[in-house]
Amino acid sequence: MAKPASEPNLDRERLELALQSARLGEYEWDMVDDIFRVSARMSAITGLPQGDMPAAKGDALYRGVHPEDRDNTRKIMEGSMRATGRFEAEYRRIREDDGRTVWMRSSGLLVRDAQGAPIRVCGVVQDVGDHHMEEDRRRTLMAELDHRVKNVLATVQALAFQTAKRTTSLDSFLATFAGRLKAMGSANELLTAARWRGAAIAHLAAAELGGLAPGQTRWEGPELFLTPRAANALSLALHELATNAVKFGALSTETGRVDLRWSRIADGGFELFWTESGGPSVERPARQGFGATLLAQVTGRELNGETEVEYRRAGVRVRLRASAAAVVERPETVPEAPTQQPIETIAAASGPTDLRGSRVLIVEDAVLLALELETGLSDAGAEVIGPAYELSEAMALLDQQIDAAVLDANLNGLSVTPVAEALAARGIPFVFATGYGDSAGAPLGFDAPIIRKPYDVTQVAAAVAAVLRAG
């Protein structure tokens, strides 16, 4: 039965709609008459003039192809046509109308007559510039990530070396180094939430002082955001000052106070004052530790400014001056001020945690961290179940007797929520140990403590002991 006359028109309309939706432009090389036909859509995409032009025995297929890509493009297209009767190639094209260089993908089909002789090539082109721009952005981001990771690793290595040089015992080294890593982690968490555009001084202060001596610390100043480099430097400086205040200074007594204030200065930078009062009488230390070295030699330079430390009898006073180079505009995305999780204040320094008789499940996809957790909990007397590195492994262990669990929030891209739900249904307490910040990643809706990485394993053991006691 013959098709109604309207059906060819309908088929053509469907083809037109498909080409338009896919943002494709069609062309044809009539090999018999050696004519190259450019459609209106192809003209708009490539800048070639619309209509018929001499094909020059196929050279018109490569008209406008970037000189650096022309030979390879010809080799790919002609080789594929000979081998399969089809081709597809990506290349750069220089538009004839405005001279811009654009990325194209061209696909074609060789049509033969009844005797097998080639008579024409039908093809389409597509502008794939957005795809290549996205690939370029991805490569740039990966290079930036690689740069930042290497910087972080180098900084951690330097911190470890400098801390080791100035500590006399392994326990002291571990405690001091862990605190400095946590300060770096807090700053990086704030920077990540702001897409690495900057971190607010107030947020850095809250992260370092928010969980210390409630009612004894205060911070105040205008909204100022620091570059990633300056934010990390200030975070470490505040950590060192807070640690010394807790050990020897104003926060070592219930009557002591720490007042942190900052203000803008005329050149666009800022000035910050750390003032301690109400604590024990202060004397200049006989030996300069890493914290003092960091303040004197590192912080000021990283902030393009200077630092002065005064050991006044009434309390330590620090003045930090930073140039405009350390300050950035308010980022589009600004996280909420960090909140200190109560469980994080459970200190392991009060004595060894006793977990004897407890069966503790470990769910952690980072093997080294899992091994560290296993060692730490075993040293505390617990019988470790696992570790489970995958969600399926964790689910398979749930039929065992379990008294408590330590859960990473994310297991190789999968949420640990199914494990948490199963444990909660059985009334088994658990602790989240996660590298995610407050804004994302941690499972919600569970009444469970959250410990942020990097952490001290003895802190995790103390947290497990706490939830066991509460249960």
- Is 399 in the same domain as 352? yes
Is 199 part of a structural domain of the chain?
yes
Domain boundary (99, 127, 155) is at 127
DSSP state of 415: E
For the stretch 192-210, pLDDT in tens is 665 667 888 988 888 888 7
Query: In this predicted structure, which of 139-148, 220-229, 294-303, 367-376 has the lowest mean pLDDT?
Result: 139-148
Q: Are residue 167 and residue 90 in the same domain, yes or no?
A: no
| Average pLDDT of the residues in 312-321 | 93
Is residue 81 included in any domain, yes or no?
Answer: yes
On whether both 351 and 326 belong to a single domain, the answer is no
pLDDT tens digits, one per residue of 334-353? 766 655 443 343 344 445 67
Are 24 and 53 in a shared domain?
Answer: yes
Which two structure tokens, joined as six digits, stand for 409?
């929030």
Letter for the amino acid at 93? R
427 and 283 fall within a common domain = no
Residue 7 lies in a domain: no
223 & 325 share domain? yes
| SS3 at position 35 | strand
Nearest to 412 by CA among 427, 386, 392: 392
The pair phi, psi for residue 233, each rounded to 5°, is -65, -45
Domain presence at residue 8: no
pLDDT at 269: 94
Secondary structure E strands in 301-403:
306-312, 315-322, 327-328, 359-363, 383-388
Q: Do 222 and 300 belong together in one domain?
A: yes
- Distance separating alpha carbons of residues 36 and 52, to the nearest angstrom: 6
Q: Does residue 45 carry a pLDDT above 70?
A: yes
CATH number at residue 226: 3.30.565.10
Q: Average the pLDDT over 129-137 and give the result.
A: 79
Residue 227 has pLDDT above 50, yes or no: yes
Pair (336, 355) in one structural domain: no
DSSP string, 301-358: HHTTSEEEEEEETTEEEEEEEE-GGGEEPPPSS-PPPP---GGGG--STTS----TT-
Of 316, 340, 364, the one marking the end of a domain is 340
- What was the pLDDT predicted at 88? 93
160 and 279 share one domain: yes
Cis status of the peptide bond prior to 454, with omega within 30 of 0: yes
Contacts (Cβ under 8 Å, ≥6 apart) of 434: 408, 409, 410, 441, 442, 450, 451, 452, 453
For 226, how many CA atoms within 13 A lie in the half-sphere containing its CB? 30
**243 C-beta neighbours (distance < 10 Å), count:** 20
For residue 261, report the phi and psi dihedrals to the nearest 5 degrees. Answer: -135, 145
Mean pLDDT, rounded, for 287-291: 71
In a domain, 139, yes or no: no
Six-digit token pair at 5?
């006359």
pLDDT of 261 above 90: yes
**Half-sphere exposure of residue 213, counting CA atoms within 13 Å on the CB side?**
21
Mean pLDDT throughout 294-308? 85
pLDDT at residue 442, rounded to an integer = 46
* Tokens found for residue 268: 């666009």
Q: How many domains does the chain divide into? A: 3
Residue 9 in domain: no
Measured in residues, the chain has a length of 471
Q: Is the pLDDT of residue 10 over 60?
A: no
Say what percent of the chain tops pLDDT 70: 81
Which residue pairs, CB below 8 angstroms and at least 24 apart, start in 422-428?
422/395, 422/398, 423/398, 426/402, 427/471, 428/402, 428/403, 428/404
Q: What amino acid occupies position 89?
A: A
Question: Are 50 and 112 in a shared domain?
Answer: yes
- What CATH number is given to the structural domain containing 29? 3.30.450.20
Provide the CATH number for the domain around residue 400.
Answer: 3.40.50.2300
E runs forming strands in 101-194:
101-112, 118-127
Q: What percent of the chain has pLDDT over 90?
A: 39
pTM: 0.53
pLDDT value, residue 226: 92
Higher-pLDDT residue of 165 and 382 is 382
Q: Do 28 and 52 fall into the same domain?
A: yes
Higher pLDDT: 2 or 416? It is 416
Whether residue 106 has pLDDT greater than 80: yes
Contact 35, 53 (CB under 8 A): yes
Which residue in 179, 180, 192, 199 sits closest to 149, CA to CA? Answer: 192
230-256 pLDDT, tens digit per residue, is 888 898 889 889 888 888 899 888 899
Among 5-9, 111-115, 339-343, 422-426, which stretch is predicted with the lowest mean pLDDT?
339-343
Residue 356 in any domain: the answer is yes
Residues 368 and 324 in one domain: no
Q: What is the pLDDT of residues 404-445, one digit of tens each?
A: 999 988 887 788 899 999 999 999 999 988 765 544 444 556
In a domain, 453, yes or no: yes
Digit-coded pLDDT (tens) for 146-174: 666 666 666 677 667 767 776 777 777 77
Chain centre distance of CA 240: 26
Domain end (from 340, 363, 385)? 340
Range of the domain at 366: 347-470
Please state the φ and ψ torsions of residue 222, each to the nearest 5 degrees.
Answer: -70, 160
